[in-house]
Structure 1
Amino acid sequence: MSAPAVSVCVPAYQAERYLADTVSSVLSQTFADFELVVLDNASTDRTPEILAGFCDPRLRVVRNERVLPLADNWNRAVAETTGPLVKLVCADDLLHPRCLERQHAVLAGDPALALVCSRRDLINEEARLISRNRGLRGLVGRVPSPVVIRKIVRHGGNPLGEPGGALFRREHFDAVKGFDARWQFPMDLALWIRLLEFGDFYGMRESLAAFRIGRGSVSARAQRAEYAEQRYLSERLAADPEWDVRRRDRLVGAAKAPGARLRRQALFLIAKRQAERAE
């Protein structure tokens, strides 16, 4: 049996609330040649029952015997895939119907590209739209990797977005040994940066995924830790001679970082208030 053109993996832990919608959004793709691997991270809620309710030959369910840490679990989810192009979708996020069709056409059609990302919508706990077509400002179309790195430093946050909006090559993922557990919050961005060592970036203007923001995401302590990690990652990038980051880029990034943090906090607060009004 030949490998699919694209593999989608969903790491799921205690995911009963949103998992059915996430799986359905993947199985509803207009692109047909894909597999969906869901890795149940030893969940004790209804996650196994929900997965058992799907009957689709493209879906394969794997279960951990014990709960794995985040990076190990995500890496195992990718390791279970068989296709040359991979997308990881968190168990509460959604793909728009043409996501795989549009992204596969770009990445499979150009071997010099290492990473394709799309803009994404931000939704709340009830899947109501909070903000449309977020991300990739100044990064639409084909962009050389050094330019992307400088944009990341200047942005002060993550301008490329979460895993659901990205498609990458399995061979590159394996070469860099996957997600790095040394990072907690910018773990996805740290991977995108390492993948860009293998080729250029392509940013898609249209929104092809939806990232869910829940009220449980609002934590002042977590936000401070995330901000500190993000700044440290940017400083490491700026100091790496491979990327030729200019002093001006560093200064702009340092000035923009507090604003990026405040915008993120505002989105979480909107989601929290919407959820409270819905109760």
Structure 2
Amino acid sequence: MSAATVSVCVPAYQAGRYIADTVSSVLAQTFGDFELVVLDNASTDATPEILRGFADPRLKVLRNDRVLPLAENWNRVVAASSGRFVKVLCADDLLHPDCVRRQYEVLATDPGIALVCSRRDMINEAGEVLAANRGLRGLVGRHEASAVIRKIVRHGGNPLGEPGGALFRREQFDAVGGWDARWTFPMDLALWIGLLGHGDFFGQPESLAAFRIGRDSLSARAQRAEYAEQRALSEGLASDPGWGVRPVDRLVGAAMAPGARLRRQALFLVAKRQGERG
């Protein structure tokens, strides 16, 4: 069997509640030349049984013998894939049917672009939209990597979005060393930054993915840790002379960071309350 052009990689752990919808959203893609690789991280819920219920030659299911740390597991699912282009999709998130096709067209036609991201919808446990067409403010279209880095610093959070909204080249993923275990919460943003060392960025105005926020996503301790990691990552960027970040970018980022954190917390709170009512 020849290698697929695009690999959609899904790391799954205790994903029984949502994995069927996630897999179905990938298998419904209008782009034909893709594979779907799901790595079950030793789940003890219904995840394995649900995955066995799919009979599609594009789907490859793997399973770890033991639970692996986040970065190791995510790197393993990409390593098990064969495509020249890669998308990593969390096991409770969704793709629009045209997502892979639209993003592949960008990368396949312009070798100077290292990363393409779309806007996305934020959804609750029931799949209802909490906030539509989020992200990429000021980043739609093609942008030089250095300009995107300055935007990241000024944003105070992650203006590019989660993995489900992104597509990148496998060769460049391998070149930057994949997912970096030094980071927990901004692990996706750290990868986007590494990839931007290899080319430009392209932002798509359409919402082509959905990021799910569940009631268990909210943790005051995790929120504090996420904020601290995000600030450390941003400060590291600002201190790197290679990116040309200006002092004003750093000042704006420090001022904007609390607001970015509060906006994200607000969505988590809404999802939590809706989940409790349901």
Report SS of the residue matched to 2:211.
strand
* Aligned alpha-carbon RMSD (Å): 0.6
Q: What is the Cα deviation at residue 5 of structure 1?
A: 1.2
Distance 1:270 1:179 in 2: 30
Match of 1:144? 144
Deviation at 1:21, TM superposition (A): 0.3
Provide the TM-score with structure 1 as the length reference.
0.99
Corresponding residue for 1:154? 154
Aligned to 2:45: 45
Instruction: Tell me the CA shift for residue 277 of structure 1.
Output: 1.8
Q: How far, CA to CA, are the matches of 1:40 and 1:228 in structure 2?
A: 30
Partner of 2:254: helix, strand, or coil?
helix
**CA-CA distance at 1:43 after TM superposition:** 0.9
- Give me the TM-score of the superposition, normalised by structure 2: 0.99
SS in 1 for 2:250: helix
Query: 1:71 matched to which residue of 2?
Result: 71
Deviation for aligned residue 1:44 = 1.1
What's the CA shift string for 1:32-66, capped at 9, x where partnerless? 11000000111111111000000000000111111
CA shift for structure 1 position 234:
0.4
Name the amino acid aligned to 2:114: A
Distance across 1 between alignment mates of 2:203 and 2:2: 29
2:277: which partner in 1?
277
In the other structure, the counterpart of 1:244 is: 244
> In 1, Cα distance between the equivalents of 2:245 and 2:78?
31
Aligned length: 278
Amino acid at match of 2:235: E
Q: 1:173 is matched by which residue type in structure 2?
A: F
Query: In structure 2, the residue corresponding to 1:86 is in which secondary structure?
Result: strand
CA displacement 1:147-170 (0-9 Å, x = unmatched)? 000000000000000000000000
Offset at residue 2 of structure 1 (A): 2.2
- Provide the residue aligned with 1:11 in structure 2: 11
Equivalent position SS for 1:248: helix
Percent sequence identity over matched residues?
Answer: 77
Q: For residue 119 of structure 1, what is the aligned residue in structure 2? A: 119
Secondary structure of the 2:29 match is: coil
Cα deviations across residues 68-116 of structure 1 (Å, max 9, x unaligned)? 0000000001000100000000000000110001000001111000000
Q: What secondary structure sits across from 1:242 in the alignment?
A: helix
Where 1:258 maps in the other structure, the secondary structure is helix
Task: Write the distance in 2 (CA, Å) between the matches of 1:188 and 1:133.
Answer: 19
Q: CA deviation at 1:242?
A: 0.7
State the match for 1:84 in structure 2.
84
1:96-245, aligned counterparts within 5 Å?
96-245=96-245
Cα distance in 2 between the residues matched to 1:273 and 1:129: 14
User: Following the alignment from structure 1 to structure 2, what is the Cα–Cα distance between the partners of residues 131 and 107?
Assistant: 27
Runs in 1 of length 4+ with deviation above 3 angstroms? none
What code does the residue aligned with 1:270 have? V
- Secondary structure at the aligned position of 1:196 is classed as helix
What is the CA–CA distance in structure 1 between the aligned matches of 2:257 and 2:123, rounded to whole Å?
Answer: 23
Deviations 1:227-277 (A, max 9, x none): 011001000000001100000000000000000011011000111111122
CA distance in 2, matches of 1:179, 1:243: 21
Cα distance between partner residues in 1 of 2:267 and 2:175: 35
Q: 1:19: how far off?
A: 0.2
Q: Aligned partners of 1:258 and 1:83: how far apart in 2? A: 39
Uncovered stretches (5+) of structure 2, i.e. residues with no partner: none
- Which structure 1 residue ranges, 5 or more long, are not aligned? none
1:130, distance to aligned residue in structure 2 (A): 0.2
Shift of 1:14: 0.8
| 1:21 aligns to 2:21 (yes or no) | yes
